[in-house]
């Protein structure tokens, strides 16, 4: 029941359509190893030959599955953001209070770091530069949506009196956002702390501070 692209007889094949059909499972396998190399070495420092090496094949063979190095990066980031927003939207639609929303968002974020470590690391390093390119415009969109969700929740929290009023709300947003995502630089799945445990400690620090209450 699946339709094959490319066997529509008379059409002179616009251009970049693959005339063969690689299996999606193999694609995902290769994308996973590519993501690891991107995360470890940086996108620009990663050559397609390094990816091919890590996958046990030759550079040219990658082009059977993908039509460019950039499209690999694209697919990695798009897939990650897709899953991320599935989680976020669920949280945001749950109708929780401001504090509970923040807690849920942070916890969800650490789960995403756990599940998509490589993709998050790539996002962290390259998003700012990539977002200017038209092809990666969805990165900018995501950032905007991200900011709206967090800022809105924080403002609601201040209005409700559960967050301190004296703080610069925008500074607070960046503070929490950065705090959460940079954890990808040291977090390793399977370590002694579960994502939920790390989230709990982070939230404890962000919400209640590290100083002893006087």
168 Ramachandran zone, left/alpha/beta (phi>0; psi -120 to 50): beta
6 binds, among DNA, its own copies, none (CB under 5 to 8 A by kind): DNA
**Which listed option, DNA, its own copies, none, makes contact with residue 202 (CB within 5 to 8 Å by class)?**
its own copies
Q: Which is nearer to DNA, 58 or 182 (CB)?
A: 58
Q: Which long-range contacts (CB under 8 A, 24 or more apart) does 145-148 make?
A: 145/85, 146/177, 147/173
Task: Copy the structure tokens of residue 86.
Answer: 């599935």
- What token pair was written down for 50? 């390094």
The mark string for 19-58 relative to DNA (x by CB under 7 A, - otherwise) is: -xxxx--x-------------------xxxx--x---xxx
Residue 209 near which of DNA, its own copies, none (CB within 5-8 Å, type-dependent):
its own copies
C-beta closer to its own copies: residue 31 or 184:
184
Residue 144 is a binding residue for DNA (CB under 7 A): no
**Residue found by looking up tokens 């929740």 in the block:** 153
Q: Among residues 58 and 167, whose Cβ is nearest to its own copies?
A: 167
Q: Which of 25, 21, 19, 15 is nearest to 2 (CA)?
A: 21
159 binds, among DNA, its own copies, none (CB under 5 to 8 A by kind): none
Residue 122 near residue 44, CB atoms below 8 Å: no
Long-range CB contacts for residues 149-153, cutoff 8 Å, separation at least 24 = 149/88, 149/92, 149/105, 150/105, 150/176, 150/177, 153/98, 153/101, 153/102, 153/105
Minimum separation from the CB atom of position 209 to its own copies (A): 3
Q: Which is nearer to its own copies, 26 or 193 (CB)?
A: 193
Pick the closer one to DNA by CB: 3 or 168: 3
Which residues of this protein are in contact with DNA, per CB under 7 A? 4-7, 20-23, 26, 46-49, 52, 56-65, 67-70
């Amino acid at each position: 029941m699946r339709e094959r692209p490319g066997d529509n007889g008379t059409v002179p094949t616009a251009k970049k359509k693959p005339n063969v059909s690689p299996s999606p499972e193999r694609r995902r396998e290769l994308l996973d190893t590519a993501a690891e190399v991107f995360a470890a070495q940086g996108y620009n420092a990663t050559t397609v030959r390094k990816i091919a090496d890590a996958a046990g094949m030759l550079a040219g063979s990658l082009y059977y599955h993908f039509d460019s190095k950039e499209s690999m990066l694209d697919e990695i980031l798009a897939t990650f953001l897709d899953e991320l927003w599935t989680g976020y939207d669920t949280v945001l639609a749950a109708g929780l209070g401001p504090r509970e929303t923040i807690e849920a968002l942070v916890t969800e974020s650490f789960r995403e770091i756990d599940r998509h470590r490589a993709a998050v690391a790539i996002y962290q390093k390259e998003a700012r530069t990539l977002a200017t390119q038209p092809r990666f415009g969805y990165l900018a969109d995501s950032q905007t949506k991200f900011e709206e969700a967090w800022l809105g929740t924080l403002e609601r929290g201040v209005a409700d009196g559960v967050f301190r009023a004296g703080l610069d709300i925008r500074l607070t947003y960046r503070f929490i956002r950065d705090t959460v995502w940079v954890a990808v630089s040291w977090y390793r799945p399977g370590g002694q702390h579960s994502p939920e445990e790390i989230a709990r400690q982070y939230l404890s620090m962000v919400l209640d501070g590290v100083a002893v209450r006087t």
